[in-house]
């Protein structure tokens, strides 16, 4: 591993360690968001660009380093920026962070990811290699695997960066909008678990199945041809 890779890995490790050492997760809770919402809104009014840039930077770092707090950040996007712009900001930031995690796995952490999760990822790796965009879209839409684990898994494959980026961006919009839209009416949110109702999950799952249909058709056609 060359010096640039060592420095990048060290910086990431230090940031993660500081996050837990200073218990920064206490700021990424529903109660903390409710308590600080008005202060954040006031700051947004007078420092609009700084607020958007700061929010997106925090979301990117959180996603890139697989830190806890993504759901709260999506709620915050809706609470601060509204459902439309909040979804746009959250989607761009989450996609950027996921792409950085993908690249880190591919070029920095390959051996560690294989040693830690290797046995659990074989099936997903195989499907991503074979069906690329459609399978990635399915994984993003249907919460079968944790978001961070998909980032790491995809980094182990030969999946093109462009395919990962756009598959992730499109795949996270529906689920992301659910949380961002809930954040826009924050006072009605009692718990994170109550946001994604069975009806919502069913709708998103159906979208995932439709996204996978072209890949399933190709697989069936190839099997029939053999």
pLDDT digits (tens), the chain, 226 positions = 578 778 888 899 999 999 999 999 999 999 999 999 999 999 999 999 999 999 999 999 999 999 999 999 999 999 999 999 999 999 999 999 999 999 998 888 877 777 877 666 676 677 777 677 888 888 898 877 789 989 988 888 888 899 999 999 999 999 999 999 999 998 888 888 778 766 666 766 677 777 666 655 455 555 555 5
Specify the pLDDT at position 221. Answer: 54
Specify the pLDDT at position 222. Answer: 55
144 contacts: CB under 8 Å, gap ≥ 6: none
| Sign of the four-CA dihedral 44, 45, 46, 50 | positive
Specify the pLDDT at position 141. Answer: 87
Specify the pLDDT at position 72. Answer: 96
What is the domain range of residue 18? Answer: 3-225
- pTM score, two decimals? 0.86
The H or E element containing residue 4 is helix 3-21
Q: How far is CA 42 from CA 31, 36, 38, in A?
A: 18, 10, 6
| 17 and 65 Cβ atoms separated by less than 8 Å | no
Domain count, the chain: 1
Specify the pLDDT at position 207. Answer: 73
Specify the pLDDT at position 220. Answer: 55
| 141 and 208 Cβ atoms separated by less than 8 Å | yes
DSSP 160: -
The two structure tokens encoding residue 135: 């399978």
């Amino acid at each position: 591993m060359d010096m640039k890779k060592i420095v990048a890995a060290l910086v990431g490790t230090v940031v993660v360690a500081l996050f837990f050492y200073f218990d920064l997760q206490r700021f990424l809770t529903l109660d903390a968001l409710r308590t600080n919402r008005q202060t954040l809104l006031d700051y947004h009014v007078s420092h609009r660009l700084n607020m958007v840039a700061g929010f997106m930077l925090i979301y990117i770092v959180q996603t890139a380093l697989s830190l806890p707090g993504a759901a709260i950040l999506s709620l915050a996007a809706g609470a601060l920026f509204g459902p439309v712009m909040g979804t746009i900001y959250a989607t761009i930031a989450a996609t950027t962070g996921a792409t950085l995690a993908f690249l880190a796995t591919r070029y920095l952490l390959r051996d560690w990811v294989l040693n830690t999760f290797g046995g659990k990822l074989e099936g997903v790796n195989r499907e991503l290699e074979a069906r690329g965009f459609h399978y990635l879209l399915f994984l993003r839409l249907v919460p079968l695997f944790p978001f961070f684990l998909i980032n790491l898994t995809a980094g182990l494959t030969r999946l093109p960066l462009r395919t990962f980026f756009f598959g992730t961006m499109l795949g996270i919009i529906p689920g992301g909008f659910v949380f961002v839209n809930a954040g826009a009416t924050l006072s009605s949110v009692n718990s994170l678990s109550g946001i994604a109702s069975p009806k919502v999950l069913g709708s998103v799952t159906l979208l995932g199945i439709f996204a996978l249909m072209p890949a399933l058709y190709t697989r069936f056609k190839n099997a029939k041809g053999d």
